[in-house]
Amino acid sequence: MFSKMQRTLLDVINNHPKISPRLALLQIIPGVGEVTVLTRVLEIGDPTKFAFIKKAVSYCGLCSAQKESAGKSMRGPVSKKRNKYLQTILIEAAKLAPNWNPQ
């Protein structure tokens, strides 16, 4: 029953007119699955809200703060202003991707 409900939900979301074009583009990436793509699209929403790629990376929690002074570069902790759910999904996808696609 759960599998059937999950499949129905995924089919409805995949066929949504506003997000289906973005889903199709993201699913072209080798090793990226349906759930990862759906999570990314639903959590981020409109990707044009990020003026720079650095802002998107920061929002996903995939980089830490960087401080530079007198030629020294130091990394700080990951910001707490991030999307923790999206960060978890992307990290898990990165760990699993080599199992499905050796590239």
So where are the chain's domains? 2-100
Residue the block writes with tokens 């590239």: 103
Give, in order, the Cα–Cα distances in Å from 7 to each of 27, 36, 55. Answer: 17, 15, 33
What is the predicted pLDDT for the residue at 71? 81
What is the predicted pLDDT for the residue at 81? 76
What is the predicted pLDDT for the residue at 75? 82
Q: Mean pLDDT throughout 64-91?
A: 81
> What's the distance, Cα to Cα, between the start and end of the chain in Å?
36
What is the predicted pLDDT for the residue at 67? 80
Distance CA 93, CA 67 (A): 29
Q: Mean pLDDT throughout 16-24?
A: 83
What is the predicted pLDDT for the residue at 99? 81
The answer to whether residue 102 scores a pLDDT higher than 80 is no
What is the predicted pLDDT for the residue at 53? 87
Please answer whether residues 93 and 33 qualify as being in contact, where contact means their C-beta atoms are separated by less than 8 angstroms: yes
What is the predicted pLDDT for the residue at 41? 84
- For 21-77, how does the pLDDT look when each residue is reduced to its tens digit (9 = 90+)? 888 888 887 777 778 888 888 888 888 888 888 888 888 888 887 788 888 888 877
